[in-house]
Structure 1
Amino acid sequence: MTYYVPRGGLPPQTALTTDRARFTDAYAVIPRRTLSDITASYLPGWSGMRMWVLARPLSGFAETFSQYVVEVAPGGGSDAPESDPAAEAVLFVVDGAPRLTLDGTTHELAPGSYAFLPPGASWTLHNASGANATFHWIRKAYAPAPGLDVPPAFVTREQDVDPVAMPDTDGSWSTTRFVDIADLRHDMHVNIVTFRPGGAIPFPETHVMEHGLYVLEGKAVYLLNQDWVEVEAGDFMWLRAFCPQACYAGGPGVFRYLLYKDVNRHAGL
């Protein structure tokens, strides 16, 4: 499986300024070349790390989550990565071999590794290897629900989870789900969506869930509100609730993205 990995740097002075970057009332597109050295951020409590912030709660836009791409240099890491006790998280590794210690158990991660971290989880992350490690870090304030426990932490890999074909698509559109959709303890899902060449979302999905979509592999044209936008590996799409969306993956290879959505809770009033 292939995962796009940003490497930073800076476009040359000869590069065209015109790009596909967009920010509208309904959606945003952050092209991959935006993840350059000058747009990187840093966090207290970490060493040898930098990150690119793809999404953060914005009033009047998408309000439920934040998403980072984190790069940790050899020897870098943190013994106290999360400062918010109410935050749950998903980590998805796209490069390198970070070491996650979760509730006293050490996990040697690799590209395709996926970790769910409930609020209050005790975890650390370090890179003891000789090369950079890169992962997505998706955070949300957990919304408790009466009669439901907080879901437990777990670590798995994309390679160990079978994708589920969407109905009546003959496998051209499938979803790799890391959480059972019937498990209402979870208030967010982070999945991987895959289209074979020619696969499509054949209608404009218009729904309450907010989305972050990071393209892991391939290219496609994506309907965002009223605009068809070309996207490729490394691009990020950020959608507020009810933004119409559809997709056509023309190939030549598969088109895959990491998808966040909020689920299973009342709308706040």
Structure 2
Amino acid sequence: MTSYYAPPGGLPGQKSRAKDRAIFTEAYAVIPRGVLTDITVSYLPGWTRAHAWVLARPLTGFAETFAELIVELAPGGGAERPEPDPEGEAVLFILTGDLAVTIAGQRHEMGPGGYAYLPPGADWQVTNPGDAPVSFVWIRKAYQRVEGIEAPEAFVTNDADVPAVEMPDMRARWSTTRFVDPADLRHDMHVNIVSFHPGATIPFAETHVMEHGLYVLQGRGVYLLNGDWVEVEEGDFMWLRAFCPQACYAAGTEPFRYLLYKDVNRHAALTLR
């Protein structure tokens, strides 16, 4: 059964250990789900009845190409102008509850597994029309324009409606749900879902130019991060710097699935920003 973990908030008990699984290095970071409590939330200008956990933001020695948040909206909450940056593009992924997203005047009702891509300059709004909170991942990136290539259009879909692509020779044990065509050069980021059955593995240490943000939607896994084996579970977030060696295997008894961000389809800058 497909499920998507959302932080419950609240406060840690007084008997909780100060030392948890949080890790921050020059090559990678792990933010475990236990960190996402009421004392680490942020409040965003222009949003009502909302709070967010900021998982990544452009920062020296940390994420360079994107920001990632988990937003929780109470009933009736939302935003008329969610994105403050005119060049900001976004992906929304619904974890729990129902979210209404209006794009250029057209309203879309989205439930768990709902996925929306919002291009730079899009006219969009969000609201929680239900009587229970809604939680969703919000990934933001400054769009990199290329002369002669138009920005992509907005679209809305659902995890359940997009067939997963099986990796070669894996007998469906490792697959990727791709929400856009990898060869579509209009897109400068991909936000996919990677799925492993228990025991499945990435059998080599990937090392590549793409930066990653990974939010674990379901299950448990063990990740190789720059030579360190790290256990992760649903609700954990990982940041991987470009060229950080990485591999993993699925643990536990249910599928191991994560929402994966990566920057793609652009020339490497020849100067440091």
Q: What TM-score comes out, normalization by structure 1 length? A: 0.99
Cα deviation, residue 61, structure 1:
3.3
Amino acid at match of 1:231: V
Amino acid at match of 1:104: G
Amino acid at match of 2:175: S
Q: Which secondary structure state, in structure 2, belongs to the residue aligned with residue 100 of structure 1?
A: strand
Cα deviation, residue 251, structure 1:
2.7
Aligned to 2:143: 142
Q: Which secondary structure state, in structure 2, belongs to the residue aligned with residue 33 of structure 1?
A: helix
Q: Quick one: percent identity of the two aligned structures?
A: 65
1:174 has 2:175 as partner: yes
Aligned to 2:110: 109
The question of whether the paired residues in 2 share the 8 Å contact of 1:5 and 1:134 is answered with yes
Q: Which secondary structure state, in structure 1, belongs to the residue aligned with residue 160 of structure 2?
A: helix
What is the distance in 1 between the residues matched to 2:252 and 2:130? 35
Cα deviation, residue 268, structure 1:
1.2
What is the distance in 2 between the residues matched to 1:35 and 1:97? 21
Amino acid at match of 1:22: I
Aligned to 1:248: 249
The question of whether the paired residues in 2 share the 8 Å contact of 1:85 and 1:120 is answered with yes
Aligned to 2:152: 151
The question of whether the paired residues in 2 share the 8 Å contact of 1:51 and 1:68 is answered with yes
Amino acid at match of 2:41: A
Cα deviation, residue 168, structure 1:
1.4
Note the 1:252-267 alignment, pairs <5 A: 252-267=253-268
Cα deviation, residue 185, structure 1:
0.5
Note the 1:50-89 alignment, pairs <5 A: 50-89=51-90
What is the distance in 1 between the residues matched to 2:89 and 2:176? 22
Aligned to 1:94: 95
Aligned to 1:239: 240
What is the distance in 1 between the residues matched to 2:147 and 2:22? 42
What is the distance in 1 between the residues matched to 2:29 and 2:218? 19
What is the distance in 2 between the residues matched to 1:82 and 1:142? 13
Aligned to 2:13: 12
Cα deviation, residue 161, structure 1:
0.1
What is the distance in 1 between the residues matched to 2:41 and 2:19? 21
1:174-212 superposed Cα distances (whole Å, 9 cap, x missing partner): 000000011111000000000001100000000000000
Amino acid at match of 1:237: M
Misfit runs of 4+, over 6 Å: none
1:128 has 2:129 as partner: yes
1:103-149 superposed Cα distances (whole Å, 9 cap, x missing partner): 11000110010000000000000112100011100000000112211
Cα deviation, residue 17, structure 1:
1.7
Aligned residues: 269
Q: Which secondary structure state, in structure 1, belongs to the residue aligned with residue 39 of structure 2?
A: helix
Q: Which secondary structure state, in structure 1, belongs to the residue aligned with residue 34 of structure 2?
A: helix
Q: Let me know the Cα RMSD of the aligned residues.
A: 0.7
What is the distance in 2 between the residues matched to 1:30 and 1:61? 13
1:210 has 2:211 as partner: yes
Aligned to 1:22: 23
Structure 2 unaligned runs (5+)?
none
Q: Which secondary structure state, in structure 2, belongs to the residue aligned with residue 208 of structure 1?
A: coil
What is the distance in 1 between the residues matched to 2:77 and 2:247? 40
The question of whether the paired residues in 2 share the 8 Å contact of 1:62 and 1:241 is answered with no
What is the distance in 2 between the residues matched to 1:72 and 1:232? 24
Aligned to 1:195: 196
Amino acid at match of 1:165: E
Q: Which secondary structure state, in structure 2, belongs to the residue aligned with residue 115 of structure 1?
A: strand
The question of whether the paired residues in 2 share the 8 Å contact of 1:118 and 1:150 is answered with yes
1:50-103 superposed Cα distances (whole Å, 9 cap, x missing partner): 000000011243300000000000011111111110000000001111111101
Q: Which secondary structure state, in structure 2, belongs to the residue aligned with residue 266 of structure 1?
A: coil
What is the distance in 2 between the residues matched to 1:164 and 1:155? 19
What is the distance in 1 between the residues matched to 2:37 and 2:24? 18
